[in-house]
Structure 1
Amino acid sequence: MTEEDLDYETLPTTSVATNMLAGALAGITEHTVMYPLDSVKTRMQVLKPSPQAIYSGVVNALSRISTAEGSATLWRGVTSVIVGAGPAHALYFATYEKCKESFSSRDNEHNHLAHASAGACATIVSDGLMNPFDVIKQRMQVHGSTYRGVIECGLDIFRKEGLSAFYISYPTTLMMTVPFQAVHFSTYEYFRKKLNPSGEYDPKTHIASGAMAGAAAAALTNPLDVAKTLLQTRGAVQDSSVRAASGLVQAFKLIHQHHGMKGFAMGIKARVLSHMPATAICWTTYEFLKMFLSKQPGFATEGTL
């Protein structure tokens, strides 16, 4: 059977090992390739930045950061993402595939609720592991960060703010990522079936479906991402009201107080611009690796949960 003739709809039954390895490599690829735009998004979402960190747009931010602080600044904190994204995405995709298989009907018809529910389950599991790494990443991304490495940053946060600093944003993260992944997965699966009814392996379908899914999910959940950034970077700002924020409601109040309704759109362009290619890259990498690994010895369908 050739790659082109492969019935791709049968691949959700690949082994857990296949799904986890493909997911880990896809997650690392997704986060690292588009990391500079993620750094810009974080900078633009900080509630009360220093005057040197106020930007008029994505291009302006990329240019000013590269010129004033060096292009390497745009990659500061990427190690945290690499370390966390591998295991987190392994759990993410393994959980998604298993839940999608369990929730979907036997006739394999597209089911928005099944895919959305599977995506929600996957993100609850993966975010529990990824949240501390995300906190470290954002602390290293903000303007004026002096941390030289992930371990230094993590230990400093722990000494000054305690273990809770790594999880204070977790409820808000879930409130953002659960609807994000619900929209993301249901949109992706919808367009994947519409653009490729035959179910054969087709990278162009994964690229297009992933990009549309990433853009839709990123735009719809941006207000929650602004609140998450506020909570994860609160220890890096001087404003006492921001430093005292302890949850989503307080974060929303502070955002509205300082910027009005437009505050909930802070960083939305950078977020959409990063998520569109990142999600396309992630799905294309994942689907290819899942197809490739499923044909390798040791990654057969036997042994699924």
Structure 2
Amino acid sequence: MVRLVKQRMQMYNSPFRSCLDCARSVYRQDGLRAFYRAYGTQLTMNVPFQSIHFVIYEWAQRVTNPQRQYWPTAHMLSGALAGAGAAAVTTPLDVCKTLLNTQEARVVADAGAGRPISGLPAAARVVYRLGGVGGFFRGLQARVVYQIPSTAICWTVYESMKYALSRAGVAERAAAAESAASAVYPTVPFNRAHAQASDFSPRSL
């Protein structure tokens, strides 16, 4: 829903004055289902995007940080590569999703649909009819450039928080061990003195 409003606000010569105006216009024209027209495509895109994203990140970590130590530079680089790769591979699905969300009048008219385009297969047919195979990769560079800093920051923050929490956990366990030790060992000198005072062997006499 939010993505639909965002993308329609970003269209060239967008007639909407605000997000609320856009949402009202979409609801008045196509009803509530218009906000979820690209929902299935969004899910279809997210599954391979996240799968590719994690695979590339793990591979990049093995290359740049084989010891798996906390190294922000390696985390940032690995995150950037993961985001760029996943974004590039899933661009065709993103193009279809954008078409479903924007429903540009000229595109709908050129496609001869006569009504709003609905569903991933229909969107894919329209993209191919109007732009061929290359149409599925329009905006590839912009999508990759957008994802690189996003995933780089995301992974760096995640690894930093994991490192900070692990250090806090180690410090907490060390403090607990020290506390437990202090509860036992203060009695050791007194026990030793008691033992020596009770020793009546020839050495103690």
Scaled by the length of structure 1, the TM-score of the pair is 0.50
Determine the structure 1 residue equivalent to 2:145: 273
Give aligned pairs, total.
166
Matched, 1:206 2:93: no
Give the TM-score of the pair, scaled to structure 2. 0.72
Give the distance between the partners of 1:225 and 1:242, measured in 2 at CA.
23
Separation in structure 2 between the aligned mates of residue 288 and residue 242 of structure 1, nearest angstrom: 52
Q: Which runs of 5+ in 1 are unaligned?
A: 1-131, 301-305
Rounded to whole Å, the distance in 1 between the matches of 2:114 and 2:96 is: 11
Which amino acid is the alignment partner of residue 39 of structure 2?
Y
Residues 143 and 296 (structure 1 numbering): CA distance in 2 closer, same or farther, change over 3 Å? Answer: farther
Q: Deviations over 1:174-222 (max 9, x none)?
A: 1112111110011112222332222221111111111111111111111
CA distance in 1, matches of 2:54, 2:43: 15
Percent of pairs with identical residues: 45
Alignment of 1:231 with 2:100, yes or no, is yes
CA distance in 1, matches of 2:160, 2:166: 10
Q: Which structure shows the bigger proportion of residues in helix conformation?
A: 2
For residue 52 of structure 2, the aligned residue among 183, 192, 200 is 183
Q: Equivalents in 2 of 1:142, 1:242: separation in Å? A: 21
Find out whether 1:145 has 2:17 as its counterpart.
Answer: no
Q: Deviations over 1:21-65 (max 9, x none)?
A: xxxxxxxxxxxxxxxxxxxxxxxxxxxxxxxxxxxxxxxxxxxxx
Counterparts of 1:89-100 in structure 2 under 5 Å?
none
Change (3 A) 1:292 1:151: farther
Report the CA distance between 1:163 and its aligned residue. Answer: 1.5
Distance in 2 (alpha carbons) for counterparts of 1:163 and 1:273: 33
Q: Hey, what's the Cα distance between the residues in 2 that align with 1:237 and 1:293?
A: 52
2:176 match? none
* Alignment-mate amino acid for residue 285 of structure 1: V
State how far apart, in whole Å, the 2-side matches of 1:280 and 1:209 are: 7
Shift of 1:159: 2.3
Within 2, Cα distance between the matches of 1:167 and 1:195?
41
- Computing the radius of gyration from Cα coordinates, the structure with the larger value is 2
Q: 2:24, 2:160 → 1: CA distance?
A: 38
Q: CA RMSD in A?
A: 2.3
User: Letter of the aligned partner of 2:28 in structure 1?
Assistant: R
The separation in 2 between residues aligned to 1:198 and 1:261, in whole angstroms, is 42
Q: How far is the alpha carbon of 1:157 from its aligned partner?
A: 1.7
Residue identity opposite 1:216 in structure 2: G
- Judged with a 3 Å threshold, the aligned counterparts in structure 2 of structure 1 residues 296 and 159 are, in CA distance, closer, same or farther, namely farther
> CA shift at 1:242, angstroms?
7.5
SS in 2 for 1:282: helix
- Residues 158, 260 of structure 1: CA spacing in aligned structure 2 closer, same or farther, 3 A cutoff? same
2:34: which partner in 1?
165
